[in-house]
Amino acid sequence: MRTIDDFTRPLEYLSPLDRYLGEIGRKWADTEVIPIRRDFDEDWEHHKLIEPCFRSLQAEIGFQRMLFPEDLGGWGLGHSGYMGTGAARLFEEVARADSGMAVAFGVLFWPLVMICVEPHVNRRLCEEFAPMFMESRPVFAANAMTEPQGGADIENMEIVGGSTIQTTAVLEGDEWVINGHKLWPTNSGGVADLFGVVCTTNPGSKDPDDLAFIFVPAKTPGCTQGGPYEKAGMAADKNSDIWFDNVRVPSWFRACGPGLDALYFKEVVSLGNLGSLAFVSGAMMNVWEILRDFTSETTFRGKPLKENDDVAGVLANFAGGVDIIRVLTYQYARMLDRPDLYGDRWSEEIVAKGRAYKYFACDKAVEDLKKVMNLMGAHGSDRAHDVEKHWRDIKIVQLWMGGKQLCQMEVARWFYECETL
């Protein structure tokens, strides 16, 4: 019988850890999440069902430590040369079960990329924060970027250059004093233990030196999180408002320093695009599994649904889409793993191509999922089959990180050398 492992990946790109990451992730998904995920929607606020799944994945298996250097208790993925392909495999397996969990899990590494990944490892901050992630409970981090009015404008680095950031960081002695209001970070709403906060040291400035990426432990006085927002899906991903009111942290909590924070922040965007691709790939493979079973067990015109030519046409288009998205995911992961061949992960080219692949994959997945739901009739929107869950979740993947229009601008800007957009 065909399985999801029959979908194509460029095998020569894969991490030596690929098989183990895949097997562990698959087993966790099959035993701990898929049997109960149908009730996650009602658990969006309190995470009574969801939290134990995170505990198992992050603390008991220990994935939350994997980015840190080995001598600090981590697995050294940040300097392995396989961060991209390794992450893609693991995120795929998690998203196959639940892409809300996948994003919450993936985002715990997002701010840590600024300090744990070669060539910009900040050893002192790694030492500071590693113990937190070695604990025997699920620990989360979050990137506080988006702000009210203007949304993800700050991710539009090429044009806006940080000039719209209203969260300020002022150096007073050997401390940063941070003030501002952020919206929407994954793992907010009381979840995160550590924030990476995108600030400006000079409001209105486009000078890259003035963009600061500063770490703020969530328990720091003056840092307040609101309650989680209710959303169309992704119950495992909590988002909320965060306020920074005269929050003081040591001056060395700045990730990389003037100019470099702005530079490596673009790498965060690239990795966000890789995560998004892997989430889509994992979710789509699960839909393929569901569809395989549904169209074998359900009959139309007196024969199994899949044995009808018109249905087979829809199934073929869907499977082809899954295969393409998976190949694209690993191709981009490889590009991030081999900057010597493809360019820096923070380069305009890599960011633009990541945006292009991400929105292509999301658009394709959303359209294909709609067709699958229409094919399944009432069962397509029935939560018992989980297809509708993936549809809601993937729609969210399509819209985050600034939405589609921002993706389009970055892609056009690089491929067509637009100068004013």
Residues that bind other proteins (CB under 8 A): 38, 41, 146, 149-153, 156, 159-160, 163-164, 183-184, 229-233, 239, 297-305, 308, 310-311, 314, 366, 370-371, 373-384, 388, 391-392, 395-396, 398-400, 402-405, 408-409
Q: How far out from the chain centre does Cα 382 lie?
A: 27
Q: Is 217 helix (H, G, I), strand (E, B) or coil?
A: strand
Sign of the Cα pseudo-torsion (248, 251, 255, 259, in order): positive
Q: Which residues pair with 213 in a beta bridge?
A: 198
Question: Which residue(s) pair with 171 in the sheet?
Answer: 176
Q: Could you give the CA distance from residue 313 to residue 209 in angstroms, rounded to a whole number? A: 54
Structure tokens at 220: 């720091």
Query: In angstroms, what is the minimal distance from the CB of 385 to other proteins?
Result: 10
C-beta separation of 187 from 140 below 8 A: yes
CB 303 to other proteins: min, Å: 6
Question: Partners of 300 in the beta sheet?
Answer: 303
- Asked whether the beta carbons of 348 and 267 are under 8 A apart, the reply is no
Cβ proximity to other proteins: between 331 and 408 the closer is 408
Name the minimum Å distance from CB 35 to other proteins: 15
Q: Which is nearer to other proteins, 181 or 338 (CB)?
A: 181
Give the shortest CB-350-to-other proteins separation in angstroms: 22
Residue 212 contacts residue 225 (beta carbons within 8 Å): no
Residue reference for tokens 């907010």? 188
CA distance 150 to 246: 23
In angstroms, what is the minimal distance from the CB of 67 to other proteins? 26
Nearer to other proteins, 48 or 370 (CB): 370
Q: What is the DSSP string of 281-307?
A: HHHHHHHHHHHHHHHHH-EETTEEGGG
* Smallest separation, CB 382 to other proteins (Å): 5
Closer of 153 and 193 to other proteins (Cβ): 153
Minimum separation from the CB atom of position 42 to other proteins (A): 9
If the CB atoms of residues 262 and 305 are measured against other proteins, the closer one turns out to be 305
For residue 378, give every residue at least 6 positions away whose Cβ sits within 8 Å of its Cβ, in sequence order, or none.
Answer: none
For tokens 């409001």, the residue is 203
Residue placing its CB nearer to other proteins in the complex, 220 or 408:
408
The residue among 2 and 301 lying less far from other proteins, judged by its C-beta, is 301
Which C-beta is closer to other proteins: that of 24 or that of 159? 159
* Residue 232 C-beta: closest distance to other proteins, Å: 4
Q: How big is the CA angle at 35 (ends 32 and 36), to the nearest 5 degrees? A: 85
Radius of gyration for the alpha carbons in the chain, expressed in angstroms and rounded = 21
